[in-house]
Structure 1
Amino acid sequence: MAKKVLVVEDNDLNLKLFCDLLRAHDYAAEPVRDGREAVERARAFAPDLVIMDIQLPHVSGLELIETMKADDDLRNIPIMAVTAYAAKGDEERIRSAGAEAYVSKPISVARFVEAVESLI
């Protein structure tokens, strides 16, 4: 059975790119456009990995990472943060929130796939 990846991304082009890449590598990708639905969808989908955009409307990816890591049912799911805002200190903040990996946008396809494979 294919490994399941929940993709939380508000940008439609990035969401499609990430899901298409995952599916091309035999992962089952579940897109989530609205971060406010991410925790509930993670519980329902039971993913093997969550790919989390950090800059989301309504709720930040950092908050979602912290919420998932504080949840008994979700805390063991690895999270790969993806962000276009790679300023000094961002990676440390993202990792201290609980993300196991960090990839900056624009993504390198090879690096993205390697990061996914290393977490699953």
Structure 2
Amino acid sequence: MAQSRFLMNGESVWQPDSGLTYGFETKYTKDSDRTQSGKGHFTPLFTVEQYGYKATNIPVSEVTKILKIIAKGKKFSLKHFSMYHGEWRTDDFYVGKSGNITIGSLKDGDKKVTELSFNMTGVNPI
């Protein structure tokens, strides 16, 4: 069983599988668009960092702990390595859309989730 230093709200939660994805998203003004000739006119507003969490073969108790932090769309603190800043930081994130759970076993003594995945988006711009 992999236990972690992956921290949400200062609490150690189940370590994601290797290969935690990192991304970023930029929002643009409403009038940002392309002309019919293909030339783009884009005015950026802000960019936020994003992470994709995916873990497999997790005890249901650990999934429950994570869901109580992320499931209602409220912000939470996340200790993460920011590729943009090039350092470990603790910043506010939220899970704004959906997460996915594949249920493995719900037998007494063997309650496991085959896979838990969700995307986390930074609250503050970079």
Q: TM-score range by the shorter chain?
A: under 0.3
Question: In terms of Rg, which structure is larger?
Answer: 2
Greater strand content: 2
Query: Which structure has the higher relative contact order (CA within 8 Å, separation 6+)?
Result: 2
**Higher fraction of helix:** 1
Please give the TM-score of this superposition, normalised by the length of structure 2. Answer: 0.27
